[in-house]
Amino acid sequence: MLGAIIGDIVGSVYELHNHRSKAFEPFFHPHAFYTDDTVCTIAVADALINGRHPAQALKDWGRRYWDNGGWGQRFAAWLASDALEPYGSFGNGAAMRVAPAGLLAGSVDEAIALARKVTVVTHDHPEALKGAEATALAIFFARRRVTAASIKDAIVERYGYDLERTADDIRPTYRFNDTCQGTVPEALVCALTATSYEDAIRNAISIGGDSDTVAAIAGGVAEALFSIPAPLARQGREHLPADMREVLDALYRSAGGAKPAPAQA
């Protein structure tokens, strides 16, 4: 999950000022910050590890960090309301917050069930459920040391996404897109064709578009594939307030002691 959060933080400064290159320094821009993507991911983790209703957790965390901004218009309206019902969205928010489901799942069926559970409360459109499931499954498979090539094949077979591309193929024509169908395949490509965690995030930033969300989705998968180098993990945590770090740590404990950084980093 920290992998998704770091992707969000790194991508935060590029969403409206796309950087069409993997060559950007420093990795964490001085003005980088966590966005609504991180707030919602923390909320999903809170819901899953503490048995809370996902809609209520999203509302609690969203209102707590309301001033952080970045909310989509329809999600913001839902967040401010008393309603717990979904509103038919197929926005990429469904996939950018789902990493905890992939981390906690013990089987393919559970990864799908958890992804749907935390998604359907707002994003109940078939494309949103598809995007969330695909992201959670990619994370689940990667944590079980399934190769990137085999993960790609499994996602293509189940969901029909076009993953026969590279970041270089996507970059020239890709534009801002806040739908699952226009974000999840591209983010998965960025992760599944990467050579390291950092390379996956650089891929995601380089294609442009909804940079923080693309990098959040790619980052969750890349963490499971490669682990996060310890220096990047420390920097990512330093961007978070104490209450978010507590949920993050509780999630890793619930996932059986999984660590967001490898010992050899």
- The whole-number average pLDDT for the span 55-81 is 94
**Average pLDDT, stretch 105-123?**
98
Q: How many domains does the chain have?
A: 1
Could you tell me if residue 260 is inside a domain?
Answer: no
User: Over 50: is that where the pLDDT of 76 sits?
Assistant: yes
Given pLDDT bands bounded at 50, 70 and 90, which one contains residue 262? very low
pLDDT tens-place string over residues 204-254: 999 999 999 999 999 999 999 999 999 999 999 999 999 999 999 999 999
In a domain, 89, yes or no: yes
pLDDT at 258 (0 to 100): 55
In a domain, 156, yes or no: yes
Q: What is the mean pLDDT of the chain?
A: 95
Is residue 209 in some structural domain? yes
Give the residue carrying structure tokens 């789902």.
98
Tell whether the model's pLDDT for residue 81 goes beyond 90.
Answer: yes
Q: Could you give the CA distance from residue 257 to residue 249 in angstroms, rounded to a whole number?
A: 9
Answer whether residue 114 shows pLDDT above 70. Answer: yes
Picking from 139, 205, 196, 193, the residue whose alpha carbon sits closest to that of residue 165 is 193
Of all residues in the chain, what percent carry a pLDDT higher than 90?
93
Please, which pLDDT band fits residue 68 given cuts at 50, 70 and 90?
confident
**What pLDDT digit, counting tens, does each position of 53-67 carry?**
999 999 999 999 999
pLDDT band, residue 103 (cuts 50/70/90): very high
CATH number for the domain that contains residue 123: 1.10.4080.10
Full residue range of the structural domain in which residue 164 is found: 2-254
- Which pLDDT tens digit goes with each residue over 180-205? 999 999 999 999 999 999 999 999 99
Q: What is the pLDDT of residue 257?
A: 65
CB 233 within 8 A of CB 201: no
What secondary structure does DSSP assign to 71-140, as a single string? --HHHHHHHHSS--S-----BTHHHHT-HHHHHH-SSHHHHHHHHHHHHTTT--SHHHHHHHHHHHHHHH
The residues, any chain, with a CB within 8 Å of residue 57's CB and separated by 6 or more, are: 43, 44, 46, 47, 50
pLDDT of 104 > 60? The answer is yes
pLDDT digits (tens, 9 = 90+) for 14-46: 998 899 999 999 999 999 999 999 999 999 999
Say yes or no to pLDDT of 264 above 60: no
In a domain, 264, yes or no: no
Distance of alpha carbon 39 from the chain centroid: 11
The verdict on residue 84 lying in a domain is yes
Residue 261 is assigned to a structural domain of this protein? no
pLDDT attached to residue 261: 38
Whether 200 and 221 have beta carbons less than 8 Å apart is answered as yes
> Among all chains, which residue has been given the structure tokens 């996602």?
155
Four-point Cα dihedral 222, 10, 99, 115, nearest 10: -120
Q: Does residue 142 register a pLDDT over 50?
A: yes
- Give the whole-number percent of the chain exceeding pLDDT 70: 97
Is 265 domain-assigned?
A: no
